[in-house]
Amino acid sequence: MANKTLGLEKNLYDYLHSVSLREPEVLAQLREETAQHPMSIMQIAPEQGQFMALLVQLIEAKKTLDIGVFTGYSSLVVALTLPPEGKVVACDVSEKDTAIARRYWLKAGVADKIELHIAPAQETLDRLIAGGEAGTFDFAFIDADKNNYDNYYERALQLVRPGGLIAIDNVFQSGRVADPQQQDNRTNNIRALNQKLHHDPRITISMLPIADGLTLALKLR
C-alpha cells in the first residue's frame, strides 16, 4: 500500500504537489488526522484523489460506489465533485474508521450525498444488484480487502452502466506483484486479477503508475 505515488524522487513528488495539488482544506485536515491512525498507509494519495475527482467530472458521474471507505477520503473527494443530486454509496465494515469519515463528511457539508453501508461490501453489492440497481452507477472505486477484489470487480462491473468506469486501487502492492519471491495471498490475488483484466473483453483498461498503482476499467457499451 502507499499513500503517495511510488517510484518518484521526493523532489519531483514535492514539485508535482506544489504546482498541481488543489486539496480543499477539509480534505487536508482529514489527511492530517488520518496520518495519526495506525493504518494511515491505507489512505489514498492526495494527487490520486484529485485525479479521481477529475475522472468523475469527466464522465459527468452522478451515482458512484466507494468500496472500502476507511476514514472517508475517497468518498469525500468524490462527493465534493458530484452535482447536488449526486450520490456516493459507500461500503465498509468498520464503525470506528467510518466515524471519522462521517465527521468530515458533515464538516464538508456533503453528508447527505453519501450513503454508508456498514457490512461486508460483497453483501451490500449483492443487495444493490438484487434491488435492481445494476447498470445505474457511473463510477466505482475498489479499495477494500484485497482477497475479495475479484468479487468486488465482478459486482462493480454489473452495477456500473455501459461507459461507466471502475478504478481499482493498489494493483502494484508496493511493487510486490513484480517480485516472484512474494507469494502471499494478497499479492497473488492482485496478480490474478491484474492478469484477468489484461484481456477481459468486457472492458478497456489502463494501468496507471499513480500512488500504489491504479487500474481504470471502462465498461464497454
Q: What residues make contact with Ca ion under the rule CB under 5 A?
A: 143, 169-170
Name residues whose C-beta falls within 8 Å of residue 169's C-beta, 6 or more positions apart in sequence: 44, 48, 68, 141, 142, 143, 211, 212, 213, 214
Closer residue to Ca ion in complex, CB, 40/122: 40
Closer residue to Ca ion in complex, CB, 48/124: 48
Number of other residues whose CB lies within 10 A of the CB of residue 88: 28
Minimum separation from the CB atom of position 132 to Ca ion (A): 30
Minimum separation from the CB atom of position 1 to Ca ion (A): 6
Closer residue to Ca ion in complex, CB, 68/164: 68
Minimum separation from the CB atom of position 204 to Ca ion (A): 23
Angle 211-212-214 (CA atoms, 0-180°, nearest 5)? 85
Closer residue to Ca ion in complex, CB, 39/99: 39
Q: Are 170 and 146 in contact (CB under 8 A)?
A: yes
Minimum separation from the CB atom of position 45 to Ca ion (A): 9
Closer residue to Ca ion in complex, CB, 33/133: 33
Give the three-class secondary structure for 16.
helix
Q: Are 197 and 205 in contact (CB under 8 A)?
A: yes
Minimum separation from the CB atom of position 212 to Ca ion (A): 6
SS (H, E, C) 67-135: ECCCCCHHHHHHHHHCCCCCEEEEEECCHHHHHHHHHHHHHCCCHHHEEEEECCHHHHHHHHHHCCCCC
